[in-house]
Amino acid sequence: MTPHFDIRNIPWQPFGDFPHFAFRILQVDMQQRIADVLFRFDANQQIVLHRHKALNHTFVVQGEHRLYEMDGRLREVRPTGSHTVSPASEAPHREGGGATDAVVLFSMRPQPGEILYEILDDAGQPIAEITLETLQAIFEAQQQAPAVAA
């Protein structure tokens, strides 16, 4: 039998009230300034508009990772096994899964003083910032919470 990656074994958590994705923080290293996070993007959906404000390495573990322009047009498709290194960008976008849920490993590497993500409303106006310290606090809380797989 071929080994199978089973996303049900990962204790996912929602990202606030934002629909169509969940995450699991694997580790946050405040000294090295690296956070490794698995994101699960729902199939055929788009998540909240945002900007990546720090260097991101991504690896598509499962499915198809799709990136969309602010207006909803498909920008890029990354198949399973794709590795991408993306610098910080002012270009807002949405992300999502293809025909099936996508699982993507993000390794975020902000410089001191950089935020990780800027969450935007549909008009492109900032509504929240996510920092390495934000992820560290979530990670610490995640370690204390009982595990619940999806």
Q: Which domains does the chain have, with CATH numbers?
A: 12-141 (2.60.120.10)
Helix H segments across the chain? 132-144
- Give CA–CA dist 91/13, Å, rounded: 27
**Please, what is the average pLDDT of the chain?**
93
Give the DSSP letter of residue 9. Answer: G
Residue 1 has pLDDT above 60, yes or no: no
* Element of type H or E holding 73: none
At 30-67, the pLDDT tens digits run: 999 999 999 999 999 999 999 999 999 999 999 999 99
pLDDT at 27 over 70: yes
How, if at all, do strands 34-41 and 94-97 pair? Answer: unpaired
Of 47, 18, 24, 16, the closest CA to residue 103 belongs to: 24
